[in-house]
Structure 1
Amino acid sequence: MRIVLIPGMGCSPVARVNWYSWFANEVLKKQNVDECVLRDFPDPNGCKESIWIPFLRDEIGLDENTIVVGHSSGAACAMRLLENDEVCKLKGVLLVAAAYTDLGDEYERRSEYFSRPWNWEKMKKGAEKIHCFHGVDDHLIPVKEARYIAVKMKGPTFKYSEIKGGVSHFFEPWDEILDVIDDMLCS
């Protein structure tokens, strides 16, 4: 099984920011994980869909044995992957601190992910399992964004977890993500 991490906007070098290296080290200890892709992405400060989706599809490679973990802007990218006809059905997708709007932010607007409506029904079918984490106290993406996503994605393939106290925008490790990976690996 492969796990691919899609970082948030401005998170470069990927191996030295947030919880990303901790996560890669922890999942590589798991018996069924062959690889955890922790690469720098092109255009790390713009994270444009027109650059990131082809990079993921053509350079990193995605298949039915891939679990994608998207954080912040990377979660928006992962959501667009779920509805993309050029990407196969994924094993799993974790959305960490996801938003469905650009939040009135000029940089998020330029990322292209929010330029058209979301195809929620198609997204539900893009992976065997989808899990969304959001911090109740997230100071960058209000929890109402994730709650809206949870309502739209409701169904047998989707789970939603709100984390209270201290995680905010998930800049530090949190153990619950490893439990979700275990669940996705077992299916």
Structure 2
Amino acid sequence: MVGRRAIIFHGTGGNPDVCWYRWLAGRLTARGYAVEVPHHPGINIEPIATFLPKVLDEHDFDEQTVLVGHSGGAALLLAILEQLDVTVAQAILVAGYCTPPNTELEPVLQPEYDWAAIRSNVRDIYFVNSRKDPYGCDEHQGRAMFERLGGTQIVRDDGHFGDHDQPYERFELLDRLIA
């Protein structure tokens, strides 16, 4: 058995070296996790129908896997969770969304989701959103997912939890949420 594993998916236009991703990876590594912080430049650029199979092929998922996604990476987690053939330990969607949050194109979103499949493929799910998200990835988006999937919704007033104009180098809450 591989042991505990975590995969942290960056957001649209992001990369593994922005905001809190490497900090969280370091914290989890110190706790014994095997951590991946992949670079997927196609997130929310390439249509999900062609992008998702590539992502699924590049990663292994098992009962001890923790998935963390930020913004477009959180939206990607919905599609990943829908397709898994295993129930992962946790999923944390930070500034996530399941419908278009603004007027921009959102190729990471699917036209519809199998919410029951998503729910059956994750033991513990969290939605962390902000009332002050400049892109519309706000508490209403988190609530829409929470109402379909259950889990835990956490609402803060922390912008987008990291962005080009919002340094967010540490994210203590995530470190505490991950078992």
Question: TM-score interval w.r.t. the shorter chain?
Answer: 0.7 to 0.9
Which residue is 2:174 aligned to? 177
Do the aligned partners of 1:68 and 1:78 also contact (CA within 8 Å) in 2? Answer: yes
The question of 1:162 aligning with 2:163 is answered no
Which range is displaced more, 71-80 or 99-108? Answer: 99-108
Q: How far apart, CA to CA, are the structure 1 residues paired with 2:46 and 2:8?
A: 14
Deviation at 1:18, TM superposition (A): 1.5
- Tell me if structure 2 keeps the 8 A contact 1:9–1:47: no
Q: Identify the match of residue 152 of structure 1 among 148, 155, 165.
A: 148
Question: What do the CA deviations read for 1:142-165 (whole angstroms, capped 9, x no partner)?
Answer: 3211112112222xxx1111123x
- Aligned match of 1:131 in 126, 133, 139? 126
Match of 2:165? Answer: none
The match for 1:103 is 101
Q: Is the 8 A contact 1:95 1:133 kept in 2?
A: yes
Evaluate the alpha carbon distance shift between residue 52 and residue 28 of structure 1 in structure 2; reply closer, same or farther with a 3 A threshold: farther
Q: Is the alpha carbon distance of 1:52 and 1:7 closer, same or farther for their aligned partners in structure 2, counting shifts above 3 Å?
A: farther
Gap regions ≥5 residues in structure 1: 183-187
CA change 1:144–1:170 in 2 (3 A) is: same
State the match for 2:60 in structure 1: 61
Q: After the TM superposition, which residues 111-122 of structure 1 pair with which residues of structure 2 at under 5 Å, given as runs?
A: 111=108, 113-114=109-110, 116-122=111-117
Contact preservation (8 Å) 1:97, 1:134: yes
Structure 1 segment 74-89 matched on structure 2, within 5 A: 74-84=73-83, 86-89=84-87
Deviation track 1:38-71 (CA, whole Å, cap 9, x = no partner) reads 1211525615423442233212222222111111
Match of 2:14 in 1: 11
- Percent of aligned positions with the same letter in both sequences? 22
Deviations 1:117-155 (A, max 9, x none): 22222221111111111112111123211112112222x
Q: Cα distance, 1:180 vs. partner?
A: 0.8
Pairwise CA RMSD: 1.9
C-alpha distance 45-102 of structure 1, shift in aligned 2 (>3 A): closer
Runs of 4 or more, structure 1, over 4 Å off, are none
Shift of 1:100: 1.2
Indicate the residue corresponding to 1:185 in structure 2: none
State how far apart, in whole Å, the 2-side matches of 1:2 and 1:61 are: 9
Structure 1's 28 and 125: CA in aligned 2 closer, same or farther, altered over 3 A? same
Q: SS state of the match for residue 30, structure 2?
A: coil
Give the 3 Å change call, closer, same or farther, for CA 87–8 of structure 1 in structure 2. Answer: farther
Q: Which runs of 5+ in 2 are unaligned?
A: 163-167
